[in-house]
Structure 1
Amino acid sequence: MSDAAQSTAAEVRAAAEAVKTALDRHLAAVERRSGEDDPAVYEAFNELAAAAEEYDELLYDRYDEVTPFEIPGTDDSLPPYTGPEEPSAVSVLIRRDYAVVEPQRLLAQAQRVEAAEEPADEVAAGTVHGALGVLFEEYEPDEIASRHKEFGLEEGDSTLWVTAEEERPEPGEWLEAPFEQIDPQQIVCRFDASAVYDEESDGEDSEDDLGPDPELDGELDEDDLEPLDADR
């Protein structure tokens, strides 16, 4: 066995020890937790997840083996809430993505809007970007979301964040950079929608093609950001 192989084996062993240490720290943090969103537990969880991932990768590289553990990813999870206990204001931020899949339909809808309002000056609706401006000026984002197919649009990902505030900002205070300073620890909740989730569900349910399981009688259910004017 070469020195390089020995070194890799030593790395695997060290990674395993790191997982053991992280497990002990996580259990200790859980035993001492001060509340549901204890930051110490959150930090210990992330350390354990990182250690387990590192061990799993090295184990596979060296021995072509994997662990039986699956630690949930933390990229989409929220850190512990540290905002005001009794917020006097909230900010709601949303991003919705669309693809322009039928430009002619989009243009026709915008031209109808212009014809009804300013028949003598049908200019803006003559281009795709102009038509988008006409429609988003005419309709609320919620209405566009519910009627997007009529406007030749196709839905993409969307996300909505609700953040707690100590007090409502002064008028015009954040308009120049509305999404620049978002504190993740003041997010009360968030709602995400993506075709990725649908694909994951399709993959999980693919065995349904083999026929129903007689033992199962239930069914599985199921940005940058823009200001509030939408729902989820």
Structure 2
Amino acid sequence: MSDAAQPTAAEVRAAAEAVKTALDRHLAAVERRSGEEDPAVYDAFNELAAAAEAYDELLYDRYDEVTPFEIPGEDTLPPYTGPEEPSALSVLIRRDYAVAEPQRLMAQARRVEAADEDAPGAGASGTVHGALGLLFGEFEPDEIASRHKEFGLEEGDSTLWVTAADESAEPGEWLEDPFEQVDPERVVCRFDVSAVFDEEFDDGDDDDGDDEDAEDGDDAEDDEADLAELEEDLDTDLDEDGAPTRLEADR
């Protein structure tokens, strides 16, 4: 950054004073709070966060120094302002997967395709796109989540939000735009699953690294054997009449 673009020492000092003022206001709001979700405390918190972030940026631009403060991300939910006794609710779920083993995915889809005369167009299982459509059309999302490795998928982050509503939506009302009108202030609760929550345990696992490397080779061989067995089942999994049998789903 050029000297002309740098903030002045006076601007940095003013930002520091703004942080002090915001701290005083936040403490005063906490001391006078009327409950656990007092909006005055929430507003004071946001003002303090904004002041601290502005000071941190100016301090870095001017002196190449940073503060020890960490500002929570924007995904922090605001206080709940929905009905105290909701008469309706919506459950929003997002689960991310990586297609780790495309061949296993398509092999499972071929089993479904062979067993279901009403399956979409023949040959759909020959592509990852088509295989995904077959499997998610055949199995419930919770079953896929519990058996994701069987389908060649690798779990990513997931989240579940429960939101309150004043009344139930009319049939078909939100189908065209199901996820765009979520009000964060009506989220009753949320549950997140992510690998980042496990990072604090990673350091303690370093001593086991050599053992895990040895096991990785065995796992790869086991996966290849499982896939070969799965392919063989496609040819042998027939009923007494010679018709393919449906893949059993533990629903």
Normalised to the residue count of structure 2, the TM-score between the two structures is 0.73
Comparing both structures, which one devotes a greater share of its residues to helix?
A: 2
Does residue 18 of the first structure (1) align with residue 31 of the second (2)? no
Quick one: distance in 1 between partners of 2:160 and 2:90?
A: 10
1:89 corresponds in structure 2 to: 88
Does residue 36 of the first structure (1) align with residue 36 of the second (2)? yes
1:100 corresponds in structure 2 to: 99
Opposite residue 176 of structure 1, the aligned amino acid is E
Query: Following TM superposition, by how much is the alpha carbon of 1:167 offset from its aligned partner in structure 2, in angstroms?
Result: 1.3
Quick one: distance in 2 between partners of 1:149 and 1:161?
A: 25
Query: Following TM superposition, by how much is the alpha carbon of 1:153 offset from its aligned partner in structure 2, in angstroms?
Result: 0.9
Q: Structure 1 stretch 158-167 or stretch 54-63: which is displaced more?
A: 54-63
Distance 1:125 1:14, change over 3 A: same
Contiguous gaps of at least 5 residues in structure 2: 208-251
Quick one: distance in 1 between partners of 2:204 and 2:124?
A: 51
Asked if the contact 1:111–1:122 (Cα under 8 Å) also holds between the matched residues in 2, the reply is: no
Opposite residue 54 of structure 1, the aligned amino acid is A
Opposite residue 152 of structure 1, the aligned amino acid is G
Opposite residue 177 of structure 1, the aligned amino acid is D
Distance 1:139 1:30, change over 3 A: same
Root-mean-square deviation (CA), in Å? 2.5
Query: Following TM superposition, by how much is the alpha carbon of 1:72 offset from its aligned partner in structure 2, in angstroms?
Result: 4.3
Query: Following TM superposition, by how much is the alpha carbon of 1:115 offset from its aligned partner in structure 2, in angstroms?
Result: 1.0
Asked if the contact 1:46–1:74 (Cα under 8 Å) also holds between the matched residues in 2, the reply is: no
1:73 corresponds in structure 2 to: 72
Asked if the contact 1:115–1:122 (Cα under 8 Å) also holds between the matched residues in 2, the reply is: no
CA deviation string 1:200-231 (max 9, x = no partner): x24xx637869xxxxxxxxxxxxxxxxxxxxx
Contiguous gaps of at least 5 residues in structure 1: 211-232
Superposed, which structure 2 residues align to 1:1-232 within 5 Å?
Answer: 8-67=8-67, 69-118=68-117, 122-199=122-199, 201-202=200-201, 206=203
Give the SS at the match of 2:8: helix
CA deviation string 1:108-166 (max 9, x = no partner): 10110111122997432222111111100110000001111111111112111110111
Opposite residue 203 of structure 2, the aligned amino acid is S
Give the SS at the match of 1:189: strand
Give the SS at the match of 1:168: coil
1:218 corresponds in structure 2 to: none
Quick one: distance in 2 between partners of 1:61 and 1:206?
A: 34
Quick one: distance in 2 between partners of 1:32 and 1:171?
A: 45
* Identical-residue share of aligned pairs (%): 80
Give the SS at the match of 1:134: helix
Distance 1:143 1:26, change over 3 A: same
Asked if the contact 2:53–2:71 (Cα under 8 Å) also holds between the matched residues in 1, the reply is: no
The structure number with the bigger radius of gyration is 2
Quick one: distance in 1 between partners of 2:5 and 2:135?
A: 63
Distance 1:125 1:10, change over 3 A: same
Asked if the contact 2:19–2:52 (Cα under 8 Å) also holds between the matched residues in 1, the reply is: yes
Count the aligned residue pairs: 204
